[in-house]
Structure 1
Amino acid sequence: MLRVARPLLTCGRRSISTTSAEVGRLLDRYPVDRLGPQPGDEAVLTLSGGVDSSVAAFLAIERGGLKPVRTIFMRNWNSLDEAQTFEPGAGGSTGCTWLRDWRLVERTARVLGLKAELMDLSTEYWNQVFAPALDDWQRGTTPNPDVACNREIKFGELLLRAGLAESFPSLTSNASPSASPGPRRWLVTGHYARLAYHRGTGDSTVLGSLHRASDATKDQSYFLSAVAADKLGRAHFPLANLTKAEVRSIAAHVGLPTAASEESMGLCFVGERGTRGHARFLASYIDARPGNIVSLDGRTVGRHEGLHTLTVGQGARIGGASTRWFVAKKKPETNEIVVVPGADHPLLRCRSLHIDAFLPISARGSLVESLRGSDGQQRPRLLAQIRHRQAAVACTVARLPPSTPGDDDDDAQPAVEVAFDEPVVGVAQGQTCALYDGDECLGSGVISHVSLAE
């Protein structure tokens, strides 16, 4: 039996005495930074109905000493509108369960002594994230809506509506954060990533640099790789130094109703997990054009239900085939998907890729500084990541001339080539490539061209 040492939760009128020496040690790993959140600062808490955001909110209040001023549940998708019913979890097996999540958020907020509010961002999500992704899927490329959602919605529209869009009041070069006029206000989320704070060049604005979380299996820095430093400078990630198992342990000891919640992954509203469920969902929004699956020599070996139903590197189900076939590329002009036999085929292995507009998190740092004004001779050695949970791979990076002749070079968003030390399998146009210097994420960009190891 675990020994109760002291009350863990004293916010609101509730008091929960459910701690132990083990849980106390977990709380001691709360991230602290001299320029980051300080006791007495204000917090805008975000709750999703999952265990991560719930524990992040609890830690910010209990361990960080932040004062909650708003507790927000973001509704990014409204399946009730589609189903035209207000039953819990409406939308059927492929509908979003946002209403169920909202009820769980309300219960969690009550335990924490808070009152939650629902912020409807479904229109913004559709216009800024989902509609552009639909266009990409229709063209046969492979977008990452989760990267776009963090940039445009969570650290875009949400910051704006929560009154956090402006940078913090300036600090003098030698002043402590407490010297700023009044408490600062932070956006608290349940992301697994670590932030380090620094002052901007030429002023004292607080900026954030993005680093990998302690739990490599849960690290979400890839999904945050397109968020700018000034936005990260308003954020706080209390889970940076914890594993998923430790987060659940804290939730259970505290008595949070989300302790055993299922994990949400990717597009929450798809409902069904896996590629086939994803393809069925998209079929409701995309003008799917069935076409041929062809081999390299042009033979028709099967049929597809739309370019969006298969991804480069994915296995293609070919009826009656004696060998396994894998998607090598898509041909939108003929609506064909080209497949090759075997997972080790050279056409599945990417040697290098191009990014037309790399979005650096900060204007400072080794990548941007070495590429600024570069004639292509400087090639910083970094690490590249193409997919969430993919192991980062060694690469070199060089600046490219603008993709459109006549365009001026853009130091803020340079075109770059990423060349891998060893070929990488399953790289597709439209994917996001994030670059790292050790555990620091330098930024990311959308892949515009792939060179194969033919």
Structure 2
Amino acid sequence: MKRVVVGLSGGVDSSVAAYLLQEQGYEVIGLFMKNWHDDSVTISNECPWLEDSNDALLVAEKLGIPFQTVDLSEEYQEKIVDYMFSEYEKGRTPNPDVLCNREIKFDVFMKIALSLGADYVATGHYCRKSEIEVNGETVYQLKSGTDTNKDQSYFLCQLSQEQLSKSLFPIGELTKPEVRKIATQMELITAEKKDSQGLCFIGKVRLPEFLQQKLQPKDGIIIQIDKNDAVYSSELQEGISLEEELKAAAKKIPYTPEMGKVVGKHQGAHYFTTGQRKGLNVGGTTDPLFIIATNVETNTIYTGLTSQHPGLFKKALRIEKEEVHWIREDLVLANGETMEVMARIRYRQPLQKATLHQFENEMYLYFDEPQSAITEGQFAAWYLGDELVGSGVIS
């Protein structure tokens, strides 16, 4: 019997994952990760870790599997929280869930599991794993979950072949209603439990308050830029190289306060992100204002009216060479090579047609259609069919 350690989170998905593995004849151990101590910044009674670990324990008891809690809050603080603070400070918007999978669940947690003699680590992610042979070597594939509405492959876009080789995703072939049905039949306490929101394993966090622990509020101005501003109609130079063309399509527009009018004040540009609509507290506009850019150096926020404002849209994004990550290492592009892919720049975004262009020091992802709110610090992930083959941090 192969031994599997399941990351029991106290939710329905990981509960059913544990049950299915048991049914398949694995020896199953349940481990709950405690990643957070500071309850002052979570919105109390929304998914506190205590309640979750208790539910995980009850599920383990019901299934008759060994259970324990591991405290990873130190590693979480260092690898996720500190990283988040430093990214927000630079005016970028990190994705803690992608990082939590790469750095915590499939690294620190996986090492603990393997030290307990586990052959695999399993989670309740809606995605699938398969394997193929390439030049006589086994290559692992990460595929989207069968339930397109719940597919979570994006959150695993930074995993390596090594991590995938030891991972199992037991519910990847199921839909959410099917998972709930199994949990109900098995009388698991988590059957009707709501899906958790907020930061991976911390629960619902008030982000501004969370960031204010480290990043001090400072007053700045909110500028509104007109959609007909000349900056949106600049022509490309003739005879420039493809790389120059892509660089122009991906680059940030250099906004200055003189380009627009002051419409309000804010408490710190580092608390805000491109594409954000809520939290600006600016009244009296005909349509909602959207953030089209932030500048943490000058502490200025630039906005535009409506979700169709030209300042929100770009056709390309840039990824620095060292930030390009291939799950399928056999598909890595060499300098000058291109690949047609389907890509997304955030979770739940429908896949978009795009082309990867690899150059000496960077890669560009060029979309067929302009994309709204391409955000620095987030991950772009690219797929061939239903297989996620690579990803990178948007720079």
TMscore range, shorter length:
0.7 to 0.9
Contact conserved, 2:157 with 2:390, CA < 8 A, in 1?
Answer: yes
Residue 93 of structure 1 and its aligned partner are, at CA, apart by: 2.4
Which residue of 2 is the match for residue 150 of structure 1?
101
Query: Is residue 46–residue 187 contact of structure 1 (8 Å, CA) maintained in 2?
Result: yes
Q: 1:384 to 1:164 in 2, by over 3 A?
A: farther
Residue 211 of structure 2 is aligned to residue 282 of structure 1: yes
Residues 13-412 of structure 1 correspond to what in structure 2 (within 5 A)? 40-62=1-23, 64-68=24-28, 70-79=29-38, 93=44, 97-163=48-114, 185-198=119-132, 207-268=139-200, 271-272=203-204, 277-296=206-225, 297-315=259-277, 316-356=280-320, 357-365=323-331, 368=332, 371-372=333-334, 374-375=335-336, 378-402=337-361
* Offset at residue 160 of structure 1 (A): 1.2
Matched AA of 2:224? S
Aligned to 1:327, the other structure's residue is in SS state: strand
How far 1:294 moved relative to its partner?
0.9
**Structure 1 stretch 280-289 or stretch 43-52: which is displaced more?**
280-289
Structure-2 separation of matches of 1:95 and 1:265:
9
Q: Which amino acid aligns with 2:89?
A: Q
Amino acid at match of 2:90: R
Query: Please, what is the CA RMSD of the aligned residues?
Result: 2.2
Provide the rounded CA distance (Å) in 2 between the counterparts of 1:196 and 1:380: 22
Equivalent position amino acid for 1:284 in 2: Q
Structure 1 counterpart of 2:247: none
Q: Taking structure 1 as reference, are residues 351 and 364 closer, same or farther at Cα in structure 2, changes over 3 Å only? A: same
CA distance in 2, matches of 1:48, 1:271: 11
1:94–1:281 Cα contact (<8 Å) kept: no
Aligned to 2:367: 420
In structure 1, what is the Cα distance between the partners aligned to 2:326 and 2:126?
20
CA contact (8 A) 1:94 1:270 kept: no
Q: Structure 1 CA distance, aligned partners of 2:4 and 2:204?
A: 34
Could you list the structure 1 runs, at least 4 aligned residues long, displaced by more than 4 angstroms after superposition: 199-203, 268-273
Please say if residues 197 and 233 of structure 1, whose CA atoms lie closer than 8 Å, have aligned partners that are also in contact. no
The answer to whether the Cα contact below 8 Å between 1:207 and 1:232 also exists between their aligned partners in 2 is: no
Shift in CA distance, 308/272, structure 1 to aligned 2, threshold 3 Å: farther
Instruction: Determine the C-alpha separation between the residues in 2 that align with 1:331 and 1:158.
Output: 37
Moved more, 137-146 or 191-200: 191-200
> Is the Cα contact below 8 Å between 1:279 and 1:308 reproduced in 2?
no
Structure 2: runs of 5 or more not aligned: 226-258
Deviation of 1:342 after TM superposition, in Å, equals 2.2
Q: Give TM-score, length-normalised by structure 2.
A: 0.85
1:95 Cα deviation after fit: 7.7
**Per-residue deviation, 1:339:** 0.7
1:43 is displaced (CA, Å) by 1.1
What is the SS of the residue equivalent to 2:338? Answer: coil
CA distance in 2, matches of 1:42, 1:342: 53
Q: Indicate conservation of the 8 Å contact 2:382/2:390, yes or no.
A: yes
Q: Is the 8 A contact 1:139 1:307 kept in 2?
A: no
**2:394 corresponding residue in structure 1:** 447
Shift in alpha-carbon separation, 1:381–1:199, aligned structure 2, 3 A: closer
Q: Deviations over 1:141-165 (max 9, x none)?
A: 1110100100000111111122279
Counterpart code for 2:371: V
For the residues of structure 2 that align with 1:422 and 1:436, how far apart are their CA atoms? 17
Structure 1 or 2: more strand by fraction: 2
CA contact (8 A) 1:95 1:270 kept: no
AA at the equivalent of 1:424: Q
Supply the distance in 2 between the matched residues of 1:200 and 1:97 (Cα, whole angstroms).
45
Question: 1:309 corresponds to which letter in structure 2?
Answer: Y
Give % identity: 37
TM value normalised by structure 1? 0.74
- Asked whether the equivalents of residues 43 and 204 of structure 2 are also in contact (C-alpha less than 8 Å), the reply is no
Shift of 1:110: 0.5
Gap change, CA 1:67 and 1:207, over 3 Å in 2: farther
CA apart distance, 1:272? 4.3
Question: Does structure 1 conserve the Cα–Cα contact (< 8 Å) formed by 2:93 and 2:375?
Answer: yes
CA distance in 2: counterparts of 1:94 and 1:289, whole angstroms: 31
SS in 2 for 1:227: coil
Q: Check 1:261–1:77 CA distance in 2 against 1; reply closer, same or farther (3 A cut).
A: same
CA contact (8 A) 1:133 1:145 kept: yes
Return 5+ residue gaps in structure 1 as ranges. Answer: 1-39, 84-90, 166-182, 403-414, 449-454
Asked whether the 8 Å contact 1:151–1:224 carries over to 2, the reply is yes
Contact 1:270 1:278 in 2 (8 A): no
SS across alignment from 2:380: strand
* Distance in 2, Cα, partners of 1:136 & 1:123: 19
Query: For the Cα contact (< 8 Å) 2:84–2:94, is it kept in 1?
Result: yes
